[in-house]
């Protein structure tokens, strides 16, 4: 039976590798009886526009193919799409990793180059219901599958854009350049009604376990428990953060006294001054922020 798919495809993902791969990608879909309409993104935010304005009628799946930024855009367009009467009648979502960083795909057992493996999963038509995180600022609302953070993590993300041509090394270099200007920020965070105040270096609110493909930021996170995992790095010396940083690769950072972890359904965070937010590797919005978990709100193609 033919599977009808709407594909939002970022040809610039993976430093342009996705564009070179496109003819092979098309052929592989056809070989596997997937009738796909492929829409190519051309600029930042285009994934949101294409998915929001699409008519979902007649499609069996909406596919985001690119890196984490592409998935973030297509997911937000998916939630803003009103071509169906209600969210339950929308076709399921799917992710085909094609980028440099595919952090969320790690939870699916997929590496950044596993696009064929992801398409093979589509053919098995196994659907899972997973949580989606929604965050609101004073003026904006977004949805994410992976993580939103601010503080040191946003500073690193902003710095890494300058070194983008270095590929995977860009993030590591950005960490060390940002470390030279390490700051702490007073914040108030309310989690399901429980309020605390901290002198903080960074906050990460995770739906899934990984960030940046290789960092196991929230090792206890589950995608269908109705809870978001909060990681706080509080006041710390530059020397100590150099010890904490490598431990995140294995999820062992939680052993340090400066790290606190919590779980909550609803989170409110305020800071003394507005701070840039970094959802799924993007730079969008600023504090104050409210985040809530939409329990099992998204139907997604998933490995069995």
Give the tens place of pLDDT for each residue, 106-155.
999 998 889 999 999 999 989 999 999 999 999 999 999 999 999 998 99
User: Does the pLDDT of residue 46 top 90, yes or no?
Assistant: yes
The predicted model gives 239-253 an average pLDDT of 89
pLDDT averaged over the chain?
Answer: 92
User: Does the pLDDT of residue 212 top 80, yes or no?
Assistant: no
Q: What is the DSSP letter of 248?
A: G
Q: How long a stretch of residues is the chain?
A: 304
What's residue 168's pLDDT? Answer: 66
Helix (H) or strand (E) segment spanning residue 161:
helix 152-162
CA dihedral 273, 274, 275, 279 (to 10 degrees): 150
What's residue 113's pLDDT? Answer: 85
Q: Which residues contact 200 (CB under 8 A, 6 or more apart)?
A: 151, 184, 185, 186, 187, 232, 233, 234, 235
Q: Does domain 141-293 have CATH number 2.60.200.40?
A: yes
Give me the long-range contacts of 288-291 (CB less than 8 A, separation at least 24). Answer: 288/137, 288/138, 289/135, 289/136, 289/137, 289/148, 289/150, 290/135, 290/136, 290/266, 291/133, 291/134, 291/135, 291/136, 291/148, 291/205, 291/228, 291/266, 291/267
pLDDT band (50, 70, 90) for residue 160: confident
The predicted model gives 88-107 an average pLDDT of 90
What's residue 87's pLDDT? Answer: 60
Give the separation between CA 157 and CA 277, rounded to whole angstroms.
10
Which residues of the chain does CATH 3.40.50.10330 include? 3-125
User: Does the pLDDT of residue 299 top 80, yes or no?
Assistant: yes
CATH architecture of 3-125: 3-Layer(aba) Sandwich (3.40)
User: Does the pLDDT of residue 43 top 80, yes or no?
Assistant: yes
**Encoded tokens for 239:** 């020397």
User: Does the pLDDT of residue 167 top 70, yes or no?
Assistant: no
The predicted model gives 249-261 an average pLDDT of 92
What's residue 236's pLDDT? Answer: 93
pLDDT band (50, 70, 90) for residue 161: confident
User: Does the pLDDT of residue 37 top 90, yes or no?
Assistant: yes
State whether residue 128 is helix, strand or coil: strand
Query: Residue with structure tokens 């699916």?
Result: 108
User: Does the pLDDT of residue 31 top 90, yes or no?
Assistant: yes
Give the separation between CA 67 and CA 14, rounded to whole angstroms.
7
For the chain, give percent helix, strand, coil, nearest 5. Answer: 30, 35, 35
Q: What is the CA radius of gyration of the chain?
A: 19
Which residues of the chain does CATH 2.60.200.40 include? 141-293
Which of the residue ranges 42-46, 143-147, 183-187, 279-283 would you say has the lowest mean pLDDT? 279-283
């Amino acid at each position: 039976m033919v599977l009808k798919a709407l594909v939002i495809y970022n040809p610039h993902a993976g430093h342009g590798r996705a564009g070179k791969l496109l003819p092979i990608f098309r052929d592989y879909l056809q070989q596997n009886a997937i009738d796909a309409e492929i829409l190519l993104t051309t600029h930042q935010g285009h994934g949101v526009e294409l998915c929001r304005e699409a008519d979902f009628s007649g499609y069996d799946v909406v596919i985001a193919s690119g890196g984490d930024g592409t998935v973030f855009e297509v997911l937000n367009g998916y939630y803003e799409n009103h071509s169906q009467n209600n969210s339950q009648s929308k076709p399921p979502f799917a992710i085909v990793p094609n980028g440099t960083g595919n952090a969320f795909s790690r939870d699916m057992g997929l590496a950044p180059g596993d696009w064929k493996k992801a398409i093979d999963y589509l053919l098995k038509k196994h659907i899972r219901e997973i949580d989606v995180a929604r965050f609101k600022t004073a003026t904006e609302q977004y949805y994410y599958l992976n993580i939103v953070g601010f503080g040191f993590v946003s500073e690193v993300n902003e710095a890494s854009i300058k070194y983008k041509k270095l590929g995977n090394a860009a993030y590591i270099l950005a960490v060390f350049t940002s470390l030279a200007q390490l700051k702490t920020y007073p914040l108030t965070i309310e989690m399901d009604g429980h309020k605390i105040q901290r002198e903080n270096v960074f906050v990460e609110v995770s739906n899934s376990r990984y960030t940046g493909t290789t960092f196991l930021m929230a090792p206890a996170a589950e995608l269908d428990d109705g809870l978001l995992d909060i990681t706080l790095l509080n006041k710390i010396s530059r020397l100590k953060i150099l010890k904490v940083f490598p431990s995140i690769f294995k999820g062992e950072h939680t052993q340090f006294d400066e790290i606190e972890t919590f779980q909550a359904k609803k989170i409110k965070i305020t800071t003394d001054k507005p701070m840039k937010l970094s959802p799924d590797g993007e730079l969008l919005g600023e504090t104050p922020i409210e985040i809530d978990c939409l329990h099992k709100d998204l139907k997604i193609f998933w490995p069995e």
